Each structure stands twice: as C-alpha cells, then as structure tokens.
Amino acid sequence: MVSSLSSFHLLKSGTDSNARAGELLTPHAVVPTPVFIPVGSQATVKTLTPEELSDIGISMVLANTYHLYLRPGISVIEKMGGLHRFMAWNGAILTDSGGYQLFSLAPLSRVSDEGVVFRSHIDGSQHFITPELAIQFQETLGADIIMVLDECPASDISFERVQMAMKRTHEWAARCQKAHQRSNQALYAIVQGGVFAELRRKSAQYLTSLGFSGYAIGGLSIGEPKEVTLAMVEETVALLPEDKPRYLMGVGSPEDIIEAVSRGIDVFDSALPTRVARNGALFSRRGRVNISNSVYSRMEKPLDPECQCYTCRSFSAAYLHHLFRCDELLAYRLATIHNLSFISNLMHEVRAAILNNTFNSFRDNFLTGYKPTNEQVRLEQKQKWFKARRRIE
C-alpha cells in the first residue's frame, strides 16, 4: 500500500551475505529494494516517456534541484502543480540537492560555510544557494525523498581538504534537518570522507547520531579505483543503522551494483546506463557490447535473444546497428529502453535471490559470465568527462 509518509521496511537481511531486501514506502509508490533509480536531471529520463519507464518496471526516478532551479525555475514547477504533475510521473521521485553538480562544475562555484556561490553554466548569471534554500526548493518541488546539501570533494585531494569538506557537509546536514518542514518527505543525509576510512567512519557516526530517514554514501565513483570504492562502502555500511535505507550515489554498472548489494546497499542511481546507451553501448549478460561494430551489421537475431524488452522483442541487432550508423534518433530510444530494462530485470533477479537465500550463488554466476569494462579505460573515461565539465566557462 502506498503510504502518505516516506519510510523503509526491511524484509530480509544477512542470511547468506550482507545483501538486503526491503521496501521504500512513499506517498507515490512502494519501491522494492534493492532498486536502481534512473537519472532524469531535468524532469525527464532522456529519450523516454513516463509510460515507457513504467512499462520497463521503473518505480522511482531522480531529478536534480540544481538543473530545475536554473531551468525552468522552481516557481514555474510550483505553479504547474509540483514536479510529479509537471513531468506527468505517477511514481516516486528523489531529488538531489545539486551538490554533485556544483562539484563537477567546480570552476563555476565558490564554497563557504554559509553556502555556495555559483555561475550558471547556461548564461553565466550568478546565484547563491544555502542548505536552507536547498531544502526549501526540494520541498516546493514535492519529491518523495530529498537530499541534504553537501560538499563533494575530488578523489585526489589531501586528507586535510577532504576533512574540511566533511565537516562542512556535517554542518550543512544539521542546518538542512532544522529547515526541513514537510513530514511526508524523507530527508537523507550524505556521508562524505573521500577515500579515507577514518573520515568515512567519523562522517557515518556523526550523521547517524542526528537521526535522518536514510543515509547516502556520496563522493565515490568519481575517479578512484573500484577496489577503493568498495572498501569505503564497507567502512561506511558497517556504521549505518540496520533499519534505514542505504543509498550509494552515482553507481550504475551492473557488476558494481552486484558487488555493492552484497555489501548491504539498498538504493543506486546513475546516468551511466542511459548515457552509454546513447553512445551505442548495450548491456548483456556477457558484458557491454558496442552495437556499432561491424559484427552486428548482418545479425538477424536480437542483440540479446533472452531479453524480453520492447527493443529485443521487436528488432534485430542489424537494425539497431543500422540506426546508430545513420545517427537516427530512434537508435537512442531503443538502446535506452534496452539498458534500463536490463538493469530493472537485474534488480528483480537480485531481490528474488536475496529473498530465496541464493544471492551468493547468483552473484558468483553473474560475475563469472559478465566481462566488465577495462578498469584503466574506465578511469580514463571518467577523468576525461570531469575535465570536460570543468572547462565550462
């Protein structure tokens, strides 16, 4: 049953691993966990309609306060009846406060204890956001789950600078909690601390003492090696409450999701599945494939004959190859449908395995057959993306 409040119900935990199954109870949907949330920063998951998302099995999407503040404006969405009505989405919505965007556009922003002064990446206009305003904006948007404003440090800066960002994140979290008024919205804190286990532990201990509705792990998957990411997840999860949802921000690769679920994570979000889809990279049980490769030019079968998504039910791999080679817009839609369907189905299988006490064998079988992207290539691509973002003036 959909709840008038946002809460979490843990159904299964720690039988054959640290993996957990539960439900996020929100005013707009009951969201089974573990769950992957597609990113729709500007009130749309790129190329897809809300109906298509529902058909895929998506029950929650993420929208971004930073982007919606700049365009079309918080007041415009308020006049339209709130974010759900504005984007014609009946499911649950989580809004990010925009801290990550301010990190990725670092040359355009200046952080102080009071808040963040930044220039719009659209027109260069100057703006100032405080923790209190971040909460006010998200309450006005009407999301089911909202996030505190945090400072996300880069992965390669000193212990002292990361510690400073962590302390500021803690101060802002307390201010956000004090400013939060809507009882039908869950407010999640964000654990920071970079790649330093000591700081991760301090952050988790402090934020859990404040008693938030849920806890996110931020500042990871931003250029550090995967083994470091997973080590920081383990350090953090060990100190988070058993009865509250655990949200790993910015992780969307199938193999990373499986590994993080095994360490006790409930919620994920990332633009990766939709972004790589638009570049012709499609998920399969054997790993990511590039549909533009010539091997698919005459392939009469679907890309994944076992997949039941609309794309694989209806079209051959050769047709998808043709669409991408011709830069047809339909290519992006069909690839996005496939990738989100793959992730959605994977989450259903993961949850079923947890409930059936077979998660460990499921994890091992999946990871044995799935070939991840080369780690060095992945890190280089991530750094290239960050550098491109930070060149914006």
Residues with active-site annotation: 96, 269
Take residue 189 and report the two structure tokens written for it: 């804190």
Gap between the Cα atoms of 82 and 140, Å rounded: 7
The answer to whether 181 touches 223, Cβ cutoff 8 Å, is no
Q: Is 180 within 8 Å of 135 (Cβ atoms)?
A: yes
d(CA 342, CA 338): 6
The SS3 of residue 223 is: coil
Q: What share of the chain is helix, strand, coil (3-state, %, to 5)?
A: 45, 20, 35
Rounded distance between C-alpha atoms, residue 305 and residue 87, angstroms:
33
Q: How far apart are CA 214 and CA 285, in angstroms?
A: 32
- Amino acid in the structure at residue 4: S
With 0-12 CB in 10 A as exposed, 13-18 as middle and 19+ as buried, what is 200?
buried
Cα 282 from Cα 340, distance rounded (Å): 10
DSSP per-residue codes, 75-110: HHHHHTTSHHHHTT--SEEEEE-SHHHHHHTGGGEE
Task: Extract the tokens encoding 263.
Answer: 């360490």
Question: DSSP letter string over 322-375?
Answer: HHHHTT-HHHHHHHHHHHHHHHHHHHHHHHHHHHTT-HHHHHHHHHHH-BPPPH
The sign of the dihedral angle between the CA atoms of 366, 342, 244, 217 is positive
